[in-house]
Structure 1
Amino acid sequence: MPSLLPLESNPDVLTKYIHKLGVSKDYSFIDVVGLDPEMLEWIPKPVKSIVLLFPCSEAYEKHRMEENEKLAGNLPKFPEDLFYMRQFTQNACGTVALIHSIANNKDIPLEDGVLKTFLDESKSLDPEERGKALEKDSTFQDCHQDLAQEGQTEADPEEKVNHHFIAFIQKDGELYEMDGRKNFPIKHGSTSDEKFVEDAAKVCKEFMARDPEELRFTVMALAPTQN
């Protein structure tokens, strides 16, 4: 399996990355410092995605396999224009989470560049084919590597990384978990512009509850840039 440098869970690094990919500077990533409603109120609205970084523990792997078996037998219907892709490159989960965040928010301005080209060329592909396309996209991989090197922690591409990025987005009034290591998007029920952040926070808390002894969780929001 090809391997990239892991992205740091740093909102400044992720913000610089999406701007380099062509995303409007009207949007940036910020830290979510707490998941209680009063803390979520401080996040600039409208929030376009919530990105969660968490440890790939035995509890996560067990839940992922059980969830996949359950869904495989009764796969829900997804919107035709929901952009979902698999992850086949080691340490590419940060890039996949960013693609899911931007591709499913078509009102975010996107200039000509690496991401727009990738989305245009992969829109008719299935999730597996999109993952393979990213694996072969050297321009996209170069962008990832450049930004991974800008983190505060020196990264080693051969070091086993035990953390994973996923994104939560709202689509047609539904909350979706977008995890490139899963076979399908995960529907978490109805939501709205007003409730999206709070509903995504509840799912983040479920991840944390499965690993009550773990503290290595990071939550970030893609939100309007505050000047």
Structure 2
Amino acid sequence: MPKRWLPLEANPEVMNAFARHLGLSDDFAFHDIYGFDDELLDFVPQPCVAVLLLFPITPATEAIEGEPKPETSSSGEPWFARQTVGNACGTMGVLHAALNGAGATKPGSYFEQLRARCEGLDADARAKIIESDDALETAHVGASVEGQSEVPREDAEVDLHFVALVEANGGIWELDGRKPTGPAYHGPSSDKGLLRDCVPVIKKFMNAANGSIHFNAIALAANLG
């Protein structure tokens, strides 16, 4: 039977405590994104090195695809691992955000040790390392019981899902560990910065959700505290 964990709450405080335990740099923190107009985006500190998007799983959101990958993408795609643990999308989002955010991890930290263990492995082999990592599971369980929401059962069906949006090799990428095709390319990055470059991608998911309000966006950005 596939392994299942408790879901991680879409809460920057919970994610910051979890990520600090794994070795997030003191220079970065997770922040709420309150909206996608320029005035609200300005509340997010810069630089922003990743965005986590929580969205409802529907046939329409499942059908969203990226653009054709650039010919040079194979050598410049972001760090990516498959998700084989049920309800672990929040942890996978944190891993994908931290390991692709420039300067976001402390030297010698769990994040960097995981990167070293996964060096040269494909996404499926990385998934096996993550699934069998007792230290990561313990940290996830500790984080999953924090926050303000009622903790669901491990076997509960959760219809919300996290993905990470990051910049790599001059492009914007969606990292969803459930997708066997790997990172999805969503076009070139611009001088507007990652946060604003992610807005069209986020709106694809919002438009596909038929008016659902079950969305949350969290930025991994500069820590002002």
TM-aligned CA distance change 1:193 to 1:98, over 3 Å: farther
| Cα distance, 1:111–1:148 mapped onto 2, change above 3 Å | farther
Q: In the aligned structure 2, how far is the partner of 1:22 from the partner of 1:111?
A: 8
- Tell me the amino acid that sits aligned with residue 112 of structure 2: K
Letter matched to residue 223 of structure 2 = T
For 1:114, the equivalent position in structure 2 comes to: 110
- Does the CA-based 8 Å contact 2:5-2:86 persist in structure 1? yes
Aligned AA (1:98): V
Alpha carbons of structure 1 residues 195 and 224: separation in structure 2 relative to 1, 3 Å: closer
Determine the C-alpha separation between the residues in 2 that align with 1:146 and 1:8: 12
- Residue in 2 aligned with 1:52? 53
SS in 2 for 1:59: helix
CA deviations 1:100-128 (Å, max 9, x no partner) are: 11111242241434322211101211011
Q: Distance in 2 between matches of 1:142 and 1:174?
A: 34
Q: Whole-Å Cα distance in 1 between the matches of residues 157 and 193 of structure 2?
A: 36
In the alignment, what sits opposite 1:209?
207
User: Within 5 A, what are the aligned runs for 1:1-227?
Assistant: 1-61=2-62, 63=63, 67=65, 77-80=73-76, 82-155=78-151, 156-183=153-180, 184-192=182-190, 194-227=192-225
Q: How far apart, in 2, do the equivalents of 1:168 and 1:121 lie? A: 23
Q: One-letter code of the match for 2:205? A: F
Which has a greater percent of helix? 1
User: 1:197-222 deviations in whole A, cap 9, x for unaligned?
Assistant: 11201110110000122110000100
| RMSD between superposed Cα atoms in Å | 2.1
Q: 3-state SS of the aligned residue for 2:48?
A: coil
* Unpaired segments ≥5 residues, structure 1: none
Q: 1:154 to 1:51 in 2, by over 3 A?
A: same
- Asked if the contact 2:25–2:103 (Cα under 8 Å) also holds between the matched residues in 1, the reply is no
Contact 1:174 1:189 in 2 (8 A): yes
Tell me the amino acid that sits aligned with residue 95 of structure 2.
Answer: I
- Conserved 8 A contact 2:82-2:123: yes
Distance in structure 2 (CA, Å) of the matches to 1:90 and 1:44: 32
Instruction: Report the residue type matching 2:198 in the other structure.
Output: A
Distance 2:115 2:191 in 1: 24
- TM-score, with normalisation over the residues of structure 1? 0.90
* C-alpha spacing 1:166/1:144, structure 2 compared with 1 (3 Å): same
TM-score, normalising length from structure 2?
A: 0.91
Q: How far has the Cα of 1:80 moved from its partner?
A: 4.6
